[in-house]
Amino acid sequence: MAERRARNWRWGLLTLLFLGVALASVLTSSGQGEYTALTAAGVLIGFGGAAYCTVKGLKGFRWLPR
pLDDT of residue 65: 64
CA 40 from chain centre, in angstroms, equals 16
CB neighbours of residue 56 within 10 Å: 13
Q: Nearest Cα to 53, choosing from 31, 28, 27, 22?
A: 22
Residue 58 vs residues 3, 26, 31, 32, 36: alpha-carbon distances, Å: 20, 26, 35, 36, 33
pTM over 0.85: no
Q: Under DSSP, is residue 33 helix (H, G, I), strand (E, B) or coil?
A: coil
Confidence class for position 63, pLDDT limits 50, 70, 90 = low
pLDDT higher than 60, residue 51? yes
Average pLDDT over residues 20-33: 93
Amino acid at 13: L
pLDDT of residue 10: 87
pLDDT higher than 60, residue 3? no
